């Protein structure tokens, strides 16, 4: 192995250095295009302002532990990190395929597999080949956490992250080798998953049995009591023994001195070396699986570069979102087409069951809101998550749901050939993302309503009069807000199709990140400008309505004219997009 490893390292160094040089050269050359140059400037400015600037500032801190965590809090976070690693380790054994997972590029398959190189040297080459990506992930993850206040912390946190990422990589390969051995012996597919899940359920059952046998603890009535219960569970019984190997891996992160770090590093390195020996000494044939994986990776890369990644999935018979009549309003046909392209998630059956589940949650919360029980914890979580998702859908939904002109740039010749007025084509293309986002937001409003009902158990609840009117007002406003925000990306797609193409995941880097920041700022600016007249009209109507029906129910009354203003602005935007659609050049890149 030693004789074969040196040529492998030499070849790897040449391959990696030339790849990095060519990638850097290609990125610098494409900065000659304004879209990449502007994105690069914005991306570098963002990274400097948010992350790198603080490293050039003078730091006056005497505490080595920049996290400033108490021992109890550090133990809590360490246990949570160990539990996350344990869940990942189990998921690898459950969801992995039945063949060895070791991917090489097509060039590596063509030149290395037929070469007179030992299997252990090939494995070492693959492990070394993964190190640049692991080191880059370690650097940025350590940078984004922003918690390293000293050179020691920067090193200890970075080394621990490198160790964890390398260990996860080795574990996934070793598990795939072991799974292939089990498959060759007849334990494949659901049999293997059944064995793994049975073992996991037995371990979970042991923990549950210890909880039942332990002395009765105080009932869980709030989040503090829940944290105390979980902390006790992690510090006594079988759980600490089951999580011990995973805690050894993450413990170097939480050390505060060099001596503590070296002591904690010993068990973690032993686990890493054990995984390395497990992978290198595994007597498993991985050549055929490697060739198949490299072929699939090459096909996916080519599809991603051409913008046709969605076409890789095998064709499926998809249920119609709604019956489409032979005669009717033409934009509905384009809505029907784009909803089908969105997938099975937007069928009537899925929405029916989603509404049924949310309705059940709302009714249950309303009937049991006077009992202070574990339902309030669930209601608090549901309310917080729904609020967060609502805000994300307003600011990021237009970039996520792209079933409009952005996804049909390659079929613009077919759209322009439709015997329809331009405004109908534009409206039909924009209806699908509006419907998808609005439906998702209305479902979240239902969850928010149910969660707020579960939290209100006191008769003097100050939020109670505002709950239903506020949800109803938001339901009126969301369609207009979504329609307004979606105008900007579709305008860019029609006027600057090359810029729209960079937002579809073609490549990456600082310049693409900068472009997405520019788009996000544009979304925010359009949202503010568009909401300003609607907000003025809505505030005036609310002031008048609250004199008659009160301040709470004046909200939905004021939301109706505000929504009409937003829809009027959207209609004006449709007229402008129709003008741009008529002049769109189908030969544009």
How far apart CA 256 and CA 69 sit, in angstroms, is: 10
pLDDT over 90 percentage in the chain:
8
Q: State the pLDDT at residue 225.
A: 59
Q: State the pLDDT at residue 454.
A: 59
Place 65 in a pLDDT band, splitting at 50, 70 and 90: very low
pLDDT over 70 percentage in the chain:
68
Please return the burial class of 307, using the count of CB atoms within 10 Å of its CB with bins 0-12, 13-18 and 19+.
middle
Q: What is the DSSP letter of 54?
A: G
How far apart CA 206 and CA 194 sit, in angstroms, is: 18
Residues 543-559: b if buried by 16+ CB within 10 A, e if exposed: eebbeeeeebbbbbbbb
Q: State the pLDDT at residue 502.
A: 46
How far apart CA 227 and CA 383 sit, in angstroms, is: 19
Spell out the alpha helix ranges (H) of 456-509.
464-495, 497-502
Please return the burial class of 290, using the count of CB atoms within 10 Å of its CB with bins 0-12, 13-18 and 19+.
buried
Over residues 381-398, the mean pLDDT reads 78
Place 455 in a pLDDT band, splitting at 50, 70 and 90: low
Place 60 in a pLDDT band, splitting at 50, 70 and 90: very low
Q: At a CB cut-off of 8 Å and minimum separation 6, what does 267 contact?
A: 248, 251
pLDDT digits (tens, 9 = 90+) for 133-185: 888 888 878 777 655 566 777 788 888 889 999 998 888 888 888 887 777 77
Place 412 in a pLDDT band, splitting at 50, 70 and 90: confident
- When mean pLDDT is compared over 338-352, 408-422, 453-467, the highest value belongs to 408-422
Instruction: Show me where the domains of the chain are located.
Output: 1-58, 69-304, 330-582
Residue 270 clears pLDDT 90, i.e. is over it = yes
Contact status, residue 527 vs residue 484, Cβ threshold 8 Å: yes
**Chain length of the chain:** 589
Q: What is the pTM of this model?
A: 0.62
Residues 12-50: b if buried by 16+ CB within 10 A, e if exposed: beeeeeeeeeeeeeeeeeeeeeebbebbbebbeeebeee
Over residues 407-419, the mean pLDDT reads 83
Q: State the pLDDT at residue 380.
A: 67
């Amino acid at each position: 192995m030693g004789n074969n490893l040196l040529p492998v390292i030499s070849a790897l160094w040449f391959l990696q250095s030339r790849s990095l040089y060519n990638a850097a050269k290609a990125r610098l050359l494409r900065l000659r295009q304004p879209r990449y140059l502007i994105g690069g400037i914005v991306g570098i400015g963002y990274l400097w302002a948010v992350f790198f600037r603080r490293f050039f500032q003078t730091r006056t801190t005497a505490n080595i532990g920049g996290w400033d965590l108490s021992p109890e809090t550090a133990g809590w976070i360490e246990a949570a990190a160990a539990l996350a690693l344990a869940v990942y380790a189990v998921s690898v054994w459950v969801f992995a395929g039945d063949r060895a997972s070791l991917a090489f590029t097509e060039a590596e398959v063509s030149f290395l597999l037929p070469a007179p190189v030992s299997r252990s040297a090939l494995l070492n080459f693959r492990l070394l080949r993964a190190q640049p990506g692991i080191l880059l992930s370690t650097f940025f993850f350590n940078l984004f956490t922003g918690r390293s206040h000293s050179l020691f912390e920067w090193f200890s946190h970075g080394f621990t992250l490198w160790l964890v990422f390398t260990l996860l990589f080795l574990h996934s390969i070793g598990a795939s080798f072991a799974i292939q051995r089990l498959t060759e012996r007849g334990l494949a597919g659901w049999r293997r998953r059944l064995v793994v899940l049975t073992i996991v359920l037995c371990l979970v059952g042991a923990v549950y049995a210890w909880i039942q046998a332990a002395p009765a603890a105080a009932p869980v009535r709030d989040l503090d009591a829940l944290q105390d219960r979980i902390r006790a569970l992690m510090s006594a019984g079988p759980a600490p023994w089951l999580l011990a190997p995973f805690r050894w891996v993450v413990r170097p992160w939480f050390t505060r001195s060099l001596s503590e770090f070296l002591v904690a590093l010993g068990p973690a390195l032993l686990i890493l070396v054990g995984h390395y020996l497990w992978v290198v000494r595994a007597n498993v044939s991985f050549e055929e699986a490697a060739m198949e994986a490299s072929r699939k990776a090459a096909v996916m890369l080519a599809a991603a570069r051409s913008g046709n990644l969605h076409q890789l999935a095998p064709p499926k018979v998809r249920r119609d979102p709604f019956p489409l009549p032979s005669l009717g309003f033409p934009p509905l046909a384009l809505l029907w087409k784009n909803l089908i392209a969105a997938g099975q998630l937007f069928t009537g059956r899925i929405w029916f069951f989603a509404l049924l589940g949310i309705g059940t949650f709302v009714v249950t919360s309303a009937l049991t809101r006077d009992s202070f029980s574990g339902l309030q914890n669930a209601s608090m979580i549901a309310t917080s998550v729904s609020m967060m998702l609502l805000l994300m859908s307003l600011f990021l939904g237009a970039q996520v749901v792209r079933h409009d002109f952005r996804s049909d740039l390659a079929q613009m010749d077919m759209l322009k050939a439709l015997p329809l007025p331009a405004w109908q084509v534009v409206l039909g293309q924009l209806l699908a993302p509006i419907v998808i986002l609005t439906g998702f937001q209305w479902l979240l409003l239902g969850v928010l309503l149910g969660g707020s009902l579960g939290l209100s158990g006191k008769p003097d609840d100050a939020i109670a009069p505002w709950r239903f009117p506020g949800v109803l007002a938001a339901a009126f406003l969301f369609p207009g807000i979504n329609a307004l925000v979606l105008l900007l990306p579709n305008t860019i797609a029609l006027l600057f199709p090359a810029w729209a193409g960079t937002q579809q995941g073609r490549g990456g880097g600082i310049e693409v990140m900068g472009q997405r920041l520019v788009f996000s700022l544009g979304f925010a600016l359009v949202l503010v400008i568009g909401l300003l007249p609607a907000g003025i009209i809505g505030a005036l109507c609310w002031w008048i309505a609250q004199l008659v029906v009160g301040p709470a129910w004046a909200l939905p009354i004021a939301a109706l004219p505000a929504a009409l203003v937003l829809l009027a602005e959207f209609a004006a935007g449709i007229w402008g997009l129709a003008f741009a659609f008529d002049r769109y050049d189908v030969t544009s890149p």
